Amino acid sequence: MTTSHYIAGRWVEGQGSDCISVSEPALGLPFAELMAASVAQVDQAVAAAREALPTWKKVSASTRAAFLRGFAEQLGLRREALITLQMRNNGKPRHEAEIDLDDAIATFAYYADLAEQLPSKNRDVPLAAPGFTARTRLEPVGVVGLIVPWNFPLVTSAWKLAPALAAGCTVVLKPSEVTPLIEQTYGQIADTLGLPAGVLNIVNGKAETGAALSSHNGLDKLSFTGSNSVGSQVMRSASAQCRPVTLELGGKSAIVVFDDCDPDQAVEWIVAGISWNAGQMCSATSRLLVQDGIADTLLPRLQAALEKLRVGNPLTEEVDMGPLTSQAQWLKVASYFATAREEGLKCLAGGQALDREGWFVSPTLYTDVPKDSRLWTEEIFGPVLCARRFATEEQAIAEANDSRFGLVATVCSADLERAERVADALEVGHVWINSVQAVFVETSWGGTKGSGIGRELGPWGLSGYQSVKHVTRCLG
């Protein structure tokens, strides 16, 4: 796969020095290679986006909406191929890969609707002072760089690409080097739909490519999803240009279970929150706070449920959880198992890498984990759940909020008044009550504290790619 970069409406060969090896995590073996883009090709992609911007931002809202609906339709037409690729390159079980695709389709359809509403958002502004009139215009912020992670390829790209195009921006998209293949679909769809050249550009590569894009002075905005360590570098690059950024970073989220909750239902919510995508989610609810009155009933059932999860190759088996997506992530999670042994943590389930081909680990549960344990405070990005008990509502809120992250949380309680009260007190960007982590395009996504800056999805996602202009006229 040499022509893996989409620049100015053409597929081109990578001219960088890095060779990207794409692996199948269930086997631990590579199945594709591609050459990274060079720094010069990043320049070309930004230049193409810059050249396309004046025309694209003047395209009618209805035309942009039609292109977005075309993306949604074309994703649907490629359904089986995209699901299979998610299973093969990410290790996702089929039901997760299906939900990913449906999410991406819904995102393009939603922002097509919002794009059509944009003309009505430009309006007159009443003034208290006589002799003047004023109006507002919502304009595209300009050329944007989009850097997306490997845990939800296709989905995270849709969350960024759809609102950016709806707003009238042109984009340069950099997929993760771990999962670079599925985003090629967006370039193929752009060709099919006749999207004007330069509106969408895709460059693949490793750190060098990402650094070249994030520091490029031809961008007007950068949107990044990934780790806090890389996010801080992206922010430093943006600060040199005084450029706006959206950062969706890490999490160490809490799930709070009160003793009036049905234990079997609670187990379902807990398992989903830690095992979905093999725990490789910034939103994984990896800190379990369980009230004293239900702990002795719930923890053995949770242990049994985790041990019953079917872990395997989604292409050859019916599984509940697949492998970790990369060898690097497998080694990282294994290092936390070693840390848990060093700290003397009590392991009720799992706690080890599986002795089989591929990058598999067991769903894991540690109990009575001290608050100063690395496993309690650090984002592991794997199916590793740490549990602590609490006595009162106030204690639960305090311990849930005692984190440098603030992305999401889940509250489980039969007392809905209390659940709502606790949800309001949690210092996070999104809270679920008595639910799995259902994410809807109409809601916002993003966090507080170290979990990032800005919001994606919903109208907030669109506004992140718009600037507000006021026009004031003197009548005298």
Phi/psi for 143 (5° steps) reads -90, 125
Looking at 248, 379, 399, 456, which residue is catalytic?
A: 248
* Closest residue by Cα to residue 46 from 262, 221, 256, 272: 221
Q: What tokens appear for 473 in the block?
A: 């006229």
Q: Annotated catalytic residue: which of 169, 261, 282, 412?
A: 282
Q: How far apart are CA 430 and CA 438, in angstroms?
A: 11
169 is catalytic: no
Residue 229's Cβ-side half-sphere holds a number of Cα atoms within 13 Å equal to: 3
Distance CA 68, CA 54 (A): 19
Contact 453, 445 (CB under 8 A): no
Burial of 124 (0-12, 13-18, 19+ CB in 10 A): exposed
Q: Hey, what are 79's tokens?
A: 């359904």
Spatial neighbors of 340 by CB under 8 A, at least 6 apart, are: 347, 351, 366, 375
Q: Is 19 a catalytic residue?
A: no
Residue 321: CB atoms within 10 A of its CB come to 27
Enter the DSSP assignment of 2.
-
Q: Which of 469, 470, 454, 441 is nearest to 144 (CA)?
A: 454
Distance (Å) of CA 150 to CA 17, 20, 162, 179, 420: 21, 14, 18, 5, 34
Name the phi and psi angles at 155, rounded to 5: -70, -60
Contact 143, 218 (CB under 8 A): yes
Active site residues: 248, 282
